[in-house]
Amino acid sequence: MLRDSIKSAQVAAMKEGDKTRLAAIRLILAKIKDRDIELRTGNAPDDDDALVIDVLQKMAKQRRESIQMYKDGGRTELADAEATELAVIEEFLPAQMSEDEVKAAIEAIKAEAGAESIKDMGKVMGLLKSRHGAEMDMGKASALVKASFG
């Protein structure tokens, strides 16, 4: 399970003395624990990897937004720190689909669902998230779905 591989990476980072990587991994584990508490579970739920991937995706999105804001504000040292954390977070995420693969998945789902207009966007997004949510940035996918109806 993904949670176990993150814990193993924490132990490895401790042994290697890699403080920046260790800090990022501890942050990931803290966010996962927060989500467990939020769900009122002390233990991992049945589909634990989905929960962990969701947490990781949100963390990655926050880092990307922070990096952009720091760069816009001329704070490159803070942007670099966020980029380092983002790299660690992305190590644990499943491989992301390319833009062409996302477009192909959108077209396949549109054909399957019989989606013909922007009114069907919600149906397409729901199917896309259920099938490929872990493999793509849903914000970008939403823009691509909208464009596909244009």
CATH number for the domain whose boundaries are 99-149: 1.10.10.410
Element at 93 (helix H, strand E): none
Q: What pLDDT shows up at residue 104? A: 92
pLDDT score of 85 more than 90 = yes
pLDDT score of 44 more than 60 = no
The CA distance from 2 to 29, in Å, is: 11
pLDDT score of 42 more than 60 = no
- Say if CB 5 and CB 92 are below 8 A apart: yes
Average pLDDT score over the chain: 90
pLDDT score of 117 more than 90 = no
Write out the residue limits of the CATH 1.10.10.410 domain(s) in the chain: 99-149
CATH number for the domain whose boundaries are 2-92: 1.10.1510.10
Write out the residue limits of the CATH 1.10.1510.10 domain(s) in the chain: 2-92
Give the residue among 131, 133, 134, 113 at the shortest CA–CA distance from 122.
113
Choice among 4-18, 35-49, 50-64, 66-80 with the minimum mean pLDDT: 35-49
pLDDT score of 41 more than 80 = no
Specify the 3-state DSSP secondary structure of 75: coil
User: What angle do the packed helices 19-38 and 48-72 form, to 10 degrees?
Assistant: 120
Place of tokens 């980072």: 13
Task: Please spell the DSSP secondary structure of 1-50, one letter per residue.
Answer: -HHHHHHHHHHHHHHHT-HHHHHHHHHHHHHHHHHHHHTT-SS--TTHHH
Confidence band of 83 (pLDDT split at 50, 70, 90): very high
**Percentage of residues in the chain with pLDDT exceeding 90?**
57
The reported pTM is: 0.79
